[in-house]
Structure 1
Amino acid sequence: MYKSILVATDGSSLSARAVDHGTNLAKALGATVLLLTVSERFHVFAFEAEQLEETSASFKEHMQKQAERTLSEAAEIARSAGVEATTVHLEDDAPYQAIIRTAENQRCDVIVMASHGRGGSQPSFWVARR
């Protein structure tokens, strides 16, 4: 059925639940997992508070550390479930495009990700297949 599952994560608690869901799905199917996090690029003209106070170098360092922490936590969830996982960190202004592009390039069968959590207290998971 599915052999490769891309799990997109932003490091939030809701996203961690999607990682758990995706790795459990992979375990049940005997599939591998690709854990992906996407950071936005630094913009000289920005309205985001964290970008207004940072230089390009400090912003990149901050985002790299955040991505490493996010992927490390996600990889631990996969490892605990006994699932083989690889990690990828990308920079892109449109995370959804990076997620789709990565799924296509890596020939992933399914994408698992959480919603933004705006719909209530229950997590929503989006599972899309090619």
Structure 2
Amino acid sequence: MFKKILVPTDGSALATSAATTAAQLAKSQGAEVIGVYVIDPFPYIGIGDASAAGLQAYMSEARNAAGQALDAIGKACAAEGVKFSGDTIERNVVYEGILETAKAEDCDLIVMASHGRQGVKALILGSVAQKVLTHAPVPVLVAKG
């Protein structure tokens, strides 16, 4: 039924748990897993050499974190014998980056974690999972940790 499963990650233990769920589901469906890590753009606050150095340091750290997060998904997929590819993208709005990737990769399912915030925290912080659920053109499986 599913051929390409998108797994967004922020590198958290919950995201890694969702990746394990996605890998097991992919194995049962004969599907492949696509991982995505969305980097927030560098908060540009000035001009000159200091900003250039700050941008370089920021992007280096962000790409390192993305690599580690995507490696965790890759390991979960390897354990299940599932094909995996990962990508790092830069977007201002995380959920939009997830949805763009789902469309660009022609994914037919999104499996993601939810931190399960409730009450005022959920209202103030919003929820990437909630926004993906609301706007996704494909089914979304939310794995709660």
* Bin for the TM-score computed over the shorter chain: 0.7 to 0.9
Distance in structure 1 (CA, Å) of the matches to 2:9 and 2:116:
13
Shift of 1:70: 0.8
Shift of 1:73: 1.5
TM-score, normalising length: structure 2: 0.74
Shift of 1:44: 2.0
Aligned to 1:49: none
> Would you say 1:104 and 2:103 are equivalent positions?
yes
Aligned to 1:21: 21
Conservation of the 8 A alpha-carbon contact between 1:8 and 1:99 = yes
SS of structure 1 residue aligned to 2:112: strand
What's the Cα RMSD here?
1.9
- Could you list the runs of 5+ residues in structure 2 that have no partner in the other structure? 46-52, 119-128, 140-145
- Deviation track 1:68-122 (CA, whole Å, cap 9, x = no partner) reads 1111111011101111010111111111101101111111000111112425xxx
TM-score, normalising length: structure 1: 0.83
- Could you list the runs of 5+ residues in structure 1 that have no partner in the other structure? 46-53, 120-124
The code of the aligned residue for 2:26 comes to A
Aligned to 2:69: 70
Distance in structure 2 (CA, Å) of the matches to 1:95 and 1:78:
23
Conservation of the 8 A alpha-carbon contact between 1:14 and 1:117 = no
Q: How much identity, in percent, do the aligned residues show?
A: 33
The code of the aligned residue for 1:76 comes to K
The code of the aligned residue for 1:2 comes to F
| Structure number with bigger Rg | 2
